[in-house]
């Protein structure tokens, strides 16, 4: 659910806020930014309270230790969402003409600010709980954006995401999704999160294309359940699977560095730049050791 809300809201913001950064505050744009961010904040909280938790009993505030859940894939998702919320908050304020310092001050923590209410609500409803590890991941995501922007005034290392269906949803649709759309959001076996580093930003004297990135990925496989694999689904046995982490090394493209005169393409590249471009990859995992993936999504 959290990844779904993030993607929908971010794509909407990207499509609205595409003009060049202004040098002075544009009050009309600033009102637009405040209205959009405030609207998402209020709408998100209302959705959580009246839709998402409507079938769950309100209980005393409590904690939930899920740091080992899904081999930390959920934590990567939190960091990824928080990173891009902060990025969008900063860019939106710059679009409105706010200074770099103030945009970073108010926009940098946005990922943490927007996701904290979710954790608080989790702590107030049965079946959930306030997750300290989620808060740590949210903080790391916003911090990654803020620190880079403060030091270099750009993002040499970006957080990216890729997805490829694992096919495991047929074993347990409740955990992994009953439809392809549900599986996209629920099947962590198909998720990969990347730190995509622009080579020319980090090594300016290197003679490589400015758009070429080196990407380090993390994923996990064999997960039919949060902490341990389920053995049955509706009395049907589920094949035994081993849960393991995957570490990946690949190339990527920084679409923001591809020059174009087309405003449409510039907008499209900006929206797609949080997605890792498919490339061959070298994978290591403890089950298969090293393996070469000719085309990794």
Cα angle: 131, vertex 159, 261; to 5 degrees: 145
Cα separation of 121 and 129, whole Å?
A: 8
Tokens describing residue 118: 């979710």
Report the pLDDT value the prediction gives residue 270, as an integer from 0 to 100.
87
Using CA atoms, how far residue 158 sits from 21, 75, 197, 215, 258, in Å, is: 20, 17, 6, 9, 16
Report the pLDDT value the prediction gives residue 10, as an integer from 0 to 100.
54
- Helical packing angle, 27-47 and 73-95, nearest 10°: 150
The residues, any chain, with a CB within 8 Å of residue 234's CB and separated by 6 or more, are: none
Half-sphere exposure of 75 (CA within 13 A, CB side): 19
Q: Is 36 exposed, middle or buried (0-12, 13-18, 19+ CB in 10 A)?
A: middle
**Whole-model pTM over 0.85:** yes
Q: How far is CA 246 from the centre of its chain?
A: 18
Q: Could you tell me where the DSSP H helices lie in the chain?
A: 2-16, 27-47, 73-95, 100-107, 110-122, 132-152, 173-176, 180-186, 199-202, 263-272
Report the pLDDT value the prediction gives residue 52, as an integer from 0 to 100.
74
Report the pLDDT value the prediction gives residue 99, as an integer from 0 to 100.
93
* Residues 118 and 2 sit within 8 Å (Cβ to Cβ): yes
Report the pLDDT value the prediction gives residue 12, as an integer from 0 to 100.
47
Report the pLDDT value the prediction gives residue 19, as an integer from 0 to 100.
47
Report the pLDDT value the prediction gives residue 21, as an integer from 0 to 100.
54
Report the pLDDT value the prediction gives residue 109, as an integer from 0 to 100.
94
Report the pLDDT value the prediction gives residue 185, as an integer from 0 to 100.
92
In angstroms, the first-to-last Cα distance of the chain is 22
User: Shortest CA distance to 196 belongs to which of 232, 155, 234, 142?
Assistant: 155
Report the pLDDT value the prediction gives residue 202, as an integer from 0 to 100.
94
Report the pLDDT value the prediction gives residue 266, as an integer from 0 to 100.
87
Q: What is the mean pLDDT of each run of 10 residues along the chain (297 residues)?
A: 51 49 75 81 75 84 95 96 94 92 93 91 92 96 97 97 96 93 94 97 92 98 96 94 97 94 88 95 97 92
Cα separation of 142 and 134, whole Å?
A: 13
Using CA atoms, how far residue 213 sits from 40, 160, 163, 209, 269, in Å, is: 32, 12, 19, 9, 15
């Amino acid at each position: 659910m959290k990844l779904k809300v993030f993607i929908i809201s971010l794509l909407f913001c990207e499509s609205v806020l595409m003009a060049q950064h202004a040098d002075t505050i544009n009050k009309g744009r600033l009102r637009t930014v405040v209205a959009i961010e405030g609207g998402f904040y209020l709408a998100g909280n209302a959705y959580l309270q009246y839709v998402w938790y409507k079938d769950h009993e309100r209980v005393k505030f409590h904690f939930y230790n899920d740091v080992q859940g899904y081999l930390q894939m959920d934590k990567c998702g939190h960091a990824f969402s928080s990173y891009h919320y902060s990025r969008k908050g900063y860019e939106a304020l710059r679009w409105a003409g706010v200074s770099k310092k103030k945009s970073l001050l108010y926009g940098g923590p946005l990922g943490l600010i927007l996701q904290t209410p979710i954790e608080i609500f989790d702590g107030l409803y049965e079946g959930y709980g306030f997750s300290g590890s989620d808060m740590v991941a949210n903080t790391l995501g916003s911090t990654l954006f803020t620190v880079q922007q403060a030091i270099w005034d750009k993002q040499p290392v970006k957080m990216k995401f890729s997805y490829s269906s694992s096919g495991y949803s047929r074993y347990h649709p409740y955990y992994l999704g009953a439809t392809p759309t549900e599986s996209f959001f629920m099947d962590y076996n198909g998720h990969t999160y990347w730190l995509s580093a622009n080579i020319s930003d980090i090594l300016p004297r290197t003679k490589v294309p400015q758009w070429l990135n080196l990407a380090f990925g993390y994923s996990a496989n064999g997960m039919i359940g949060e902490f341990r694999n389920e053995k049955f689904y509706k009395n049907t046995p589920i094949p035994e699977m081993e849960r393991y982490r995957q570490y990946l090394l690949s190339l990527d493209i920084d679409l923001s560095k591809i020059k174009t005169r087309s405003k449409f393409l510039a907008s499209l590249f900006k929206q797609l730049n949080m997605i890792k471009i498919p490339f061959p990859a070298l994978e290591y995992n403890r089950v298969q050791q090293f393996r070469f993936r000719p085309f990794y999504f």
